[in-house]
Structure 1
Amino acid sequence: MPALVIGSFEEFEKYIGQSLGTSEYFTITQKQINLFADATHDHQWIHIDPEKAKSQGAFGNTIAHGYLTLSIVPHLWDQIVDVRNLKMMINYGIESLRFANPVLVDSEVRLVAKLKSVVNLRGTVKAEVEVKLEIKDQRKPAFSGVLIFLYHFND
């Protein structure tokens, strides 16, 4: 259960410039990588062929698709913040996304989030959240960027 519960624009506003928290670690498995490859039709050997990745790849093993690591953000975000009192939430965009470090199979990753800004646009709350996906025991994150969410709160 997330430590932080937010139910309005005013509650969001209190956290501008502050850390929102960190998710639990999540393990990226070969099964997840293979399922993602099937779902996206991206069957590049560096992701799905462990033997070739070990013998010919630059990383000594298969790596997760960058977009797979991005796709687990909703799961990890829900561990950080519980946004309540909502009519609807929309993933609005991503700015300054950089994939900085490959995620090897069986790596553990976690999301770290900081509230960059929040603006009330005539009842729609636009939240910009600086995130990075940390890889356990690695100095550089898998990715960093700014996620933009639109929240429509109940009255």
Structure 2
Amino acid sequence: MRVFTTPDDLTKAVGEHLGHSDWHRVDQDRVDAFAEATGDRQWIHVDPERARSGPFGGTVAHGFLMLSLLPTLGAEVYRVDGVRMGVNYGLDRVRFPAPLPTGSRVRAGVTLLDVQPVQGGLQVANEVTLEREGGDKPCCVARTLARLYF
């Protein structure tokens, strides 16, 4: 994990790839729980038998499930000391270039794109790339925005 001890240290790292999270398995139980929480029970996510003959050869994780993993995985990549509160400010761009087959392991790579001052803190823009172990294309690429308050 990369640790920034001051806001200035973070600002100086703009443009750098900050590293990768650990690998995490996205299993069918997690996909089913996400489907239950969101009401998105489309068969490509929750019906392994039907999905075997579908376009992906098995169930795949929801795109929004992949997005929901980004804050936790990103927190494994870096932190800024002295932050009293961080909030999700939104997303500028999201793409899902490849499906995420259920049972796969994923990790997130983070590139720091921009740091701008806001009242009481900083707005941080990252490009987060979710990659599947053994995959040839990322499953999700998102430009995330967070506000860090000191």
Q: Using structure 2 for the length normalisation, give the TM-score.
A: 0.95
- SS of 2:76 mapped into structure 1: helix
Map 1:134-145 to 2 at 5 A. 134-145=131-142
In structure 2, the partner of 1:73 is 70
Matched to 2:3, the amino acid is V
Aligned residues: 150
In structure 2, the partner of 1:45 is 43
Provide structure 2 residue ranges, at least 5 long, that are not aligned to the other structure. Answer: none
CA distance in 1, matches of 2:81, 2:122: 13
In structure 2, the partner of 1:27 is 25
Map 1:48-59 to 2 at 5 A. 48-55=46-53, 57-59=54-56
Question: Contact (CA 8 Å) 1:9, 1:120: kept in 2 or not?
Answer: no
Q: Using structure 1 for the length normalisation, give the TM-score.
A: 0.93
% identity of equivalent residues: 36
Matched to 1:19, the amino acid is H
| 1:96 maps to 2:93 | yes
Matched to 1:9, the amino acid is P
Stretches (4+) displaced over 3 A: none
Structure 2 residue corresponding to 1:129, chosen from 122, 126, 130:
126
Question: Contact (CA 8 Å) 2:125, 2:146: kept in 1 or not?
Answer: yes
CA RMSD, Structure 1 to Structure 2 (Å): 1.1
Question: Contact (CA 8 Å) 2:5, 2:80: kept in 1 or not?
Answer: yes
CA distance in 2, matches of 1:6, 1:92: 20
Question: 1:122 deviation in Å?
Answer: 3.6
Question: Contact (CA 8 Å) 2:91, 2:142: kept in 1 or not?
Answer: yes
Cα deviations by residue, 1:73-112 (Å, 9 ceiling, x for unpaired): 1221111012221221110011111111110011111100
CA distance in 2, matches of 1:127, 1:148: 6
CA distance in 1, matches of 2:93, 2:63: 14
Question: 1:10 deviation in Å?
Answer: 0.4
CA distance in 1, matches of 2:47, 2:15: 42
Cα deviations by residue, 1:14-46 (Å, 9 ceiling, x for unpaired): 211001110111111000000000000111111
Provide structure 1 residue ranges, at least 5 long, that are not aligned to the other structure. Answer: none
Question: 1:130 deviation in Å?
Answer: 0.9
